[in-house]
Structure 1
Amino acid sequence: MEQNGLIKYIFLLISISLIVLSLAYFSMTNGVYPITFQEFYHSIFRISLHEDIDLLLFDFRLPRVILAMIIGFGLGISGSVLQGITKNGLADPGILGINSGAGAAIVIYMFFFQESISDDSITAIMMMPMAGLVGGLLAAFIIFFIAADSNRLDAQRLLLTGIAISSGFGALSLYLSLKMKSQDFEMATIWLNGSIYSANWLFILSILPWFILIIPLIIKKAYILDLFTLQEEVLKGLGVKVEKEKWILLLSSVAIVSACVSVAGNIGFIGLIGPHIAKLLIGKKHRYSLIICGMIGMLLMVAADYISRTIVAPAELSIGIILSIIGVPYFVYLLIKAKV
């Protein structure tokens, strides 16, 4: 059985990876200015250099696709961790207000350092995930503190508290963005709705260290997420330091979400949909489902980015809107299913 599970896991991993790479290629070669396979091949492998194609690929489309893949992977895994900690299939960084908390902190940071960010200052941009972490942790602490009932998380209270906190931080972000200069206000508004239209290599560099440090830690603790399906008394009997492990995983999840929010704004529903699809495909064991969940997040993000970029071309929709069109009906379906 274990060997069959591993074979299925490898098969799914390869299959989803091929779909993601195919989508990435399609996204990079299609749009207002299409690129042929020959032009793409020659530019990527530096066979025959063409200034216009190089500019389009390496300055605009390639960093955008890579950023979409990284963010999708991070949000997918973070959603799986939050659902495992809370034992609640409706948990998602966006719905729980963690995105909004991180977003509000970054808007505050943008408000005071907007000149440095506009000038692509390396230090200013590298510090944005740190600002997001502070806001995300603050939101998570408030939500979990209010939702806790006798050291247990009440699922309904968690959801309602998350929605309320999300609205509060959203209002704060909007108020601060209105105080910005007109040009910076436009940038902040697009960013708050979720967008990677301004993706560049510096943004990728700013979030990569967070992923390199934290994702392996989460994967290493996948077995803890499996144990969280048991009662806390049983876990304590097994010698698991429940509260310590919860906070390590929560901190890790919030850090990844904050890094994603710092470069892409408020992108929701990937952390909600990804874990459900992954569990349907591979089962509930987190050592398998975590990576699959991240890969599904990648797929959703790259597809949503391509749609947002091309559906009303040459104008552009925010990725947050595209994902909401998919995510809101699914969230309502899960709510109805939970009642039944």
Structure 2
Amino acid sequence: MKLPEAEMFPVHRRIWLVVPLLLLVTLAVVYISVTNGTFDMTVGDVIRTLLRIDVTREYDLVVFDFRLPRIVLAMLTGFGLGIAGAVIQGVTRNGLADPGMLGINAGASMAVVLFMLVFSQTLDLTGWFAYIAMPLFGLAGGMLAVAIIFWLARSNGRLDPQQLILVGIAVSAGFAAVTLYLSLKMNPNDFEAAAVWLAGSLHSANWRYIGAMLPWLLLIAPYLWWKGKVLDVLQLHDETTLSLGLDLGRQRRKLMLAAVGLVAACISVSGGIGFVGLIAPHIARRLVGLHHRRLLPVSGLVGMLMVSLGDLIGKTIFAPAQLAAGIVISLIGVPYFIYLLFRSRM
């Protein structure tokens, strides 16, 4: 007798099929990205360049200075934003919550633009100190946004998930207005750089960007995975969670701080890429279920694929002109958000 699909692939075992499939599709996107462009290369050319065999200056420049940093940064950014989105949705118990929708991206972006404005005349913004300091400014801006949102969205001393989205949209609009005001105070060169960065463009990716965000990712992502069971418990009603002896407020603060730190690290080097934290967790839940020990890594892989694919589409479909990855993902994300909004009302 033929078993139903749900019995053939139980949710707790489906991850062993989903993860290799996501990695294979991502590798296919990486293959296309590294071999195609204004300067086409074969697989043999790429392999010889990576292994330093009969390498030419042109191939070395294209692979190591232009294409590979951009691909790696897109993958790391998508991985971080996907995990952060799953954590924020878990903490707020709201499937429509997203770092962009809640104003976290806007707060972090505002702080980074403020850093650019204040220190552009005194610091080398392409130096190591700037790359290290920008995520810290982003973290401060993101935490300011979270503090405002949690304060305004409380009802009778508790977080109201229904008010969360409305408050987040309002706070995001406010931070966006401040960001625009700050950017208008810049000189023309800095304003152009800030505008490109805010659009979520990865065309200026380099190894310093990767080195600046990688420690955050290596520290925070395992911590959030370790807290996966706590996130599972937080999906229960507050009364049930408190009866289990869990300090609800303390755990939420810890998880939100870690998620905002992850978002800040990604935003500071890749710009305002939105909707990844909204879409990736929803796709991951359909693939592997609700348990966060499985949900978080799969959300990261889905986010990795989204940003990598968005960057590939942006740099090839309008070639030789390039469209920022953040814009491509937004074109997909807005209809998906509307779909989720209507679905939540049914």
Q: TM-score, normalised by structure 1?
A: 0.97
Shift of 1:181: 1.1
**Per-residue Cα deviation, 1:186-208 (whole angstroms, up to 9, x for no partner):** 01011111111110000001111
Shift of 1:117: 6.1
Query: Which of 65, 75, 79 in structure 2 is aligned with 1:69?
Result: 75
**Equivalent residue, structure 1, for 2:4:** none
Matched, 1:296 2:302: yes
Q: TM-score, normalised by structure 2?
A: 0.95
CA contact (8 A) 1:144 1:153 kept: yes
**Per-residue Cα deviation, 1:200-234 (whole angstroms, up to 9, x for no partner):** 00000111111111111100000111111111111
CA contact (8 A) 1:117 1:125 kept: no
Structure 2 distance, partners of 1:116, 1:32, is: 36
**Equivalent residue, structure 1, for 2:186:** 180
Structure 2 distance, partners of 1:229, 1:121, is: 43
Shift of 1:155: 2.2
**Is the deviation greater in 221-230 or in 4-13?**
4-13
Spell out the pairing of 1:14-53 with structure 2 (5 A cutoff): 14-53=20-59
Letter in 1 for 2:222: P
Structure 1 distance, partners of 2:102, 2:173, is: 10
**Equivalent residue, structure 1, for 2:333:** 327
**Equivalent residue, structure 1, for 2:111:** 105
CA contact (8 A) 2:104 2:172 kept: yes
Letter in 2 for 1:338: S
Structure 1 distance, partners of 2:26, 2:322, is: 22
CA contact (8 A) 1:74 1:260 kept: yes
Letter in 2 for 1:188: A
Shift of 1:17: 1.0
Identity across the alignment (%):
46
After superposition, the Cα gap between the structure-2 partners of 1:78 and 1:200, relative to the gap in structure 1 and judged at 3 Å, is: same
CA contact (8 A) 2:125 2:131 kept: no
**Is the deviation greater in 26-35 or in 268-277?**
26-35
CA contact (8 A) 2:153 2:167 kept: yes
Letter in 1 for 2:72: I
Letter in 1 for 2:146: A
Spell out the pairing of 1:272-311 with structure 2 (5 A cutoff): 272-311=278-317
CA contact (8 A) 2:315 2:321 kept: yes
Secondary structure, counterpart of 1:96 in structure 2: coil
Structure 1 distance, partners of 2:74, 2:252, is: 28
After superposition, the Cα gap between the structure-2 partners of 1:116 and 1:212, relative to the gap in structure 1 and judged at 3 Å, is: farther
CA contact (8 A) 1:110 1:117 kept: no
Shift of 1:116: 6.0
**Per-residue Cα deviation, 1:114-151 (whole angstroms, up to 9, x for no partner):** 24665521111211100100000000100111001123
**Per-residue Cα deviation, 1:139-167 (whole angstroms, up to 9, x for no partner):** 01001110011232222311111111111
**Equivalent residue, structure 2, for 1:129:** 135
Letter in 2 for 1:17: L
CA contact (8 A) 1:32 1:310 kept: no
Aligned residues: 339
Secondary structure, counterpart of 1:120 in structure 2: coil
**Per-residue Cα deviation, 1:273-317 (whole angstroms, up to 9, x for no partner):** 000000001111111111001000000000000111112111111
Secondary structure, counterpart of 1:127 in structure 2: helix
**Equivalent residue, structure 1, for 2:273:** 267
Matched, 1:80 2:86: yes
Letter in 1 for 2:345: K
Shift of 1:89: 0.5
Structure 1 distance, partners of 2:345, 2:14, is: 32
CA contact (8 A) 1:116 1:124 kept: no
**Equivalent residue, structure 1, for 2:3:** none
Structure 2 distance, partners of 1:115, 1:44, is: 38
Structure 2 distance, partners of 1:118, 1:171, is: 26
Structure 2 distance, partners of 1:40, 1:52, is: 12
- Structure 1, gaps ≥5 residues long: none
Matched, 1:237 2:243: yes
CA contact (8 A) 2:85 2:98 kept: yes
Matched, 1:155 2:161: yes
CA contact (8 A) 2:83 2:299 kept: yes
Letter in 1 for 2:152: I
**Equivalent residue, structure 1, for 2:204:** 198
Matched, 1:144 2:162: no
**Equivalent residue, structure 2, for 1:164:** 170
- Structure 2, gaps ≥5 residues long: 1-6
After superposition, the Cα gap between the structure-2 partners of 1:277 and 1:99, relative to the gap in structure 1 and judged at 3 Å, is: same
